[in-house]
Structure 1
Amino acid sequence: MKLALVTGANKGIGFETVKQLAQKDFFVYLGCRDTEKGLSAIKKLKAEGLNNVAFIQLDVTNQSSVEEARNTIAEKTGKLDVLVNNAGISGDFEQSALKTNTDVFYTVYDTNVFGIVRVTQAFLELLRKAPEPRIVNVSTAMASLNLAADIYGNSYPKRFVVYQSSKAALNMYTLHLAFELRDTPFKVNAVCPGYTQTDFTRHQGTSTPEQAGQRIVKYALIGQDGPTGRFFSEEYFPAPANCPW
């Protein structure tokens, strides 16, 4: 049985991603920093007949927590086939390039960028033990410099400077990671799940969590002839087109 880890997975897109991977016969570790919320999420999945899931305490902003989660999975399984870096935060609802305090930048980047680096580097050796390892970094079309470049236009929002710039940094990290792993079986991609109706968006959006999960799982399951080092946003740039960074 293949093994997967999804971070920030107690609700929303992460929860749906765990559910869909479990339905595809993966054993899935549901990563969540809050033990009570994580166990509650596992209870919901098992109530639906999905017993191939387990909670693992994982705070992506805490190096010790990341290492402990890595050690636990290593002892139990010895490998990892899929890593979905889903954990993310938005910061304040309105973020001004002129006024937003640097503390907000530090907080958001610690989860959206540094957290992904911590988790990816910690689990890299377990992923290397899988025959076809996959890393999916959950990003957003809001990180597209191309879309945001029309400074006076309203084609895309420019009021989330911290969140958008953090995801742009994540996209660049994804590119570099894929490049350094180019001569290995790894496939590393960034995926926009779409404008999804979750707590994150105050339940506004054009996509359901189920649709968002499908977009992420698709790239967790790609074959060896599939892409790597790419950004996919199928809601805004229908496949096979991809966002021009």
Structure 2
Amino acid sequence: LSAGRVCLSHAEPQVAAGRPAEDGRAEEQDGCYQLYPGHIPTSPLQKALLAAGSAAMALYDPYRHDMVAVLGETTGCLVLPNLRDKMKHDPEGYRILQERPRIRLSTLDVNRLQGLPDGTLGREYIRFLDDNKVSPDTRMPAKFVDDEELAYVIQRYREVHDLMHTLLGMPTNMLGEVVVKWFEAIQTGLPMCILGAAFGPVRLNARKLRVLATELIPWAIRSGRNANCILNIYYERRWEQTVESLREEIGIFPPPAVRV
């Protein structure tokens, strides 16, 4: 067995990206298997090296989304099963795991969402994307998670990240990202979120640090603890719901009236 390969017995058929291959097996290469399209099998040592390198780069440049993605995959192995279990034990979360929706420009009816009333989730989500010049298509596909279902869980987390900005009312500047990371760290326990929450503030000036420490972090922590699991909301079926009512349903407290 070469390093970084996942080998399975021929009695253990796998699926690729949640869908069976034509012969009911995952792709086989030299007796080893890719567990889903794009999967790169890695050993624990390789994961540790990838985690260290991606953490260093993500701290140096928090907007390196590729490095943040690698960090999330290589450090989330102990947390992702818990998130999956939360989804499996919730009717809406279970449906998401079964249907595997994706949030991409190709799956969004942008014109319809733009035409929804102000204050609805769909309209405010599109407004967030436009105002901050971001796209859901920039979210990297999972590569290093050695479980097809867990790979979808972290993919789903990535693709609802911008919806967290929308629900929390946070922009994509450094202060806004740190606040969202605090909320996500409490919600998910993902090491990359904890790292971003802990070290992101070093780039903030004194005024923003004061607002963060006295207003925003306490609110993000309270909301994160009070809220239902953010992965258990089928957002694609909530576009017409108002942001305010969805916050109340999830358990997110209204954002503080401060300039971010």
TM-score under structure 1 length normalisation: 0.26
| Higher share in helix | 2
TM-score under structure 2 length normalisation: 0.25
Greater radius of gyration (CA): 2
